[in-house]
Structure 1
């Protein structure tokens, strides 16, 4: 097997003039062999760094996603069959600015918008606070669920979380390489647009560099040309839109010749400009998040309304951004978001206890 992998490695790992791109099939094959541990450790590390230096093509990324789809766990449509948002948020987490995303997800959940997430534990190269830990800090621990229970939670609450160490250990097995090579490999790009959901979904991904956003679009054209997408040049590469400056967002627009358009979200146009709150300690962060959920004053409240309003509008809950902001604010102030969190917590407990007896 490793001699077969060596041929693929030679293609991406040759010099400036002799390197070749992999076909979609070859990229799928190489990724499958890495996930299954059929390539040696030396080969996997070499492939990751060579691929990073060469730069990944849309065909290669499509092939890598094909391999993930084949080997990963899945979440299936709930009885309501509503189209979920699938969020791609960097697995290596946040280290400078306070994350808003779980608050956005709870606001969406209140409005009946399903959301699917995925991620693991604290991860190189950034070792920021990962998504799973944010939810745990809010009293919702998705990491304890078996994959069947993830599906049950999704069916009952519209929230789904694929926790890679438990649900997709093959992918988690590639994590140590990030530390050893000291760089994010192309798999870190794949994670932003990978979806464990089987069915029609709306993909939301964060990005930092403009070429990444073009790569996302080209890859989707090859794999899922009809799905809706929202690609956000968000805080630290996340899906969180900024209060401190304009955020650029690429959204799918099937009726245009390009198939997409750029939005520029200016907080000052909506009287929302402010500071992006720094990430100080996790205990302070959880207190600030709790206050938002409980409808109290919080340094994160404005950012939660700003983000919640945008995604409510983007999903089609309301006709324009301004009414999205109003709905988000009302859901927080009326106590509905607090109620929603309590419901999700009760459902989690029920699923865990029910399956233990």
Structure 2
């Protein structure tokens, strides 16, 4: 089935494009994920959505198609999911530190993303340097959770067709809705998600999506696109319980001048970052206060989520 009628709606440019309904978005994404579209149609969809932008209803419809095609996972207790798709460019990638702190607190943690990126230091590379598990199937994730370890799972394992959608960026040079969907993916039934954004305008649309889908989530502006607070200054942490923003659980962004700037290594390679994470988890170096506060915020939010 052709998606030409959908492209006609979304491909009219920034001012002329019309949004799809949730049902239409689900149908379009289902065809894409099931391999029913030509490369030309995929490119047309990606470019049209890049210009138009996604509405919360469209994101919800896309997610309706994504969820049934996700690898089935079952955590032994309510999990926390950390989507890790940006990696490190300038600062150490401390997503593994947050994952380790949560796992040490008895929380099953799933980190998902790409295993490698030629221009970034990925969380998977740091997990390997730490000797932590990179899961290749549901059974290996279950086994690691049984050992109270955080788990990294490549998107190619968790959702191969969604990974293919993200890889269109290598051809087109532009992001598409798949990148947003990956960062919103619940991944584990009943899990609490950490949802991060890189640009302020996305904070509004993502908050609307979380409300529309009644999600349990922590929304923040992540460090270089990673789901971890900036080690130097706490961003706003917005907590959602069943889609409702909780002022009691949320934290305001840190203002004013910094009294103390944590010392971070200049090198950001996997081995150096793994040494830093190990030293912080062992108490040999202090965990940066913003990450301590994010960790505590997530534990409080997890307690507030209905069982």
Which TM-score bucket, shorter chain as reference? 0.7 to 0.9
1:174-253 matches, within 5 Å, as 174-198=165-189, 200-223=190-213, 225=214, 227-252=215-240
Structure 1 equivalent of residue 275 of structure 2 = 287
> What SS does the corresponding residue of 2:35 show, helix, strand or coil?
coil
> What SS does the corresponding residue of 2:125 show, helix, strand or coil?
helix
Q: Give yes or no for contact 2:228–2:291 (8 Å, CA) kept in 1.
A: yes
- Choose between structure 1 and 2: higher helix proportion: 1
Which of 127, 137, 146 is the aligned partner of 2:129? 137
Structure 2 equivalent of residue 62 of structure 1 = 60
CA gap of 1:280–1:313, structure 2 versus 1, over 3 A, is closer
1:56-95 matches, within 5 Å, as 56-78=54-76, 82-89=77-84, 91-95=85-89
Which of 1, 4, 7 is the aligned partner of 1:6? 4
Question: In the TM superposition, what is the alpha-carbon distance from 1:211 to its structure 2 partner?
Answer: 2.2
Which of 16, 19, 25 is the aligned partner of 2:17? 19
TM score, norm. by length of structure 2: 0.86
Q: How many residues align?
A: 301
Q: Give yes or no for contact 1:242–1:276 (8 Å, CA) kept in 2.
A: no
Q: Give yes or no for contact 1:65–1:190 (8 Å, CA) kept in 2.
A: yes
Question: In the TM superposition, what is the alpha-carbon distance from 1:16 to its structure 2 partner?
Answer: 4.5
Which of 99, 102, 115 is the aligned partner of 2:93? 99
Which of 159, 165, 169 is the aligned partner of 1:168? 159
Give a deviation string over 1:95-124, Cα, whole Å, max 9, x none: 111111211211211111222221123348
Is 1:308 the counterpart of 2:292 in the alignment?
yes
Structure 2 equivalent of residue 336 of structure 1 = none
Distance 2:165 2:28 in 1: 13
Q: Give yes or no for contact 1:93–1:122 (8 Å, CA) kept in 2.
A: no
Q: Give yes or no for contact 1:108–1:312 (8 Å, CA) kept in 2.
A: no
Distance 1:292 1:191 in 2: 29
Distance 1:306 1:219 in 2: 26
Structure 1 equivalent of residue 138 of structure 2 = 147
TM score, norm. by length of structure 1: 0.75
Question: In the TM superposition, what is the alpha-carbon distance from 1:307 to its structure 2 partner?
Answer: 1.0
Distance 2:157 2:11 in 1: 32
Is 1:259 the counterpart of 2:257 in the alignment?
no
CA gap of 1:164–1:16, structure 2 versus 1, over 3 A, is closer
Distance 2:241 2:259 in 1: 27
Question: In the TM superposition, what is the alpha-carbon distance from 1:213 to its structure 2 partner?
Answer: 1.7
Distance 2:147 2:267 in 1: 32
Q: Give yes or no for contact 1:8–1:22 (8 Å, CA) kept in 2.
A: yes
Distance 1:85 1:45 in 2: 33
Question: In the TM superposition, what is the alpha-carbon distance from 1:246 to its structure 2 partner?
Answer: 4.5
Structure 1 stretches lacking a partner, 5+ long:
320-357
Question: In the TM superposition, what is the alpha-carbon distance from 1:48 to its structure 2 partner?
Answer: 0.8
Distance 2:207 2:15 in 1: 27
Structure 2 equivalent of residue 346 of structure 1 = none
> What SS does the corresponding residue of 1:307 show, helix, strand or coil?
helix
Q: Give yes or no for contact 1:254–1:260 (8 Å, CA) kept in 2.
A: no
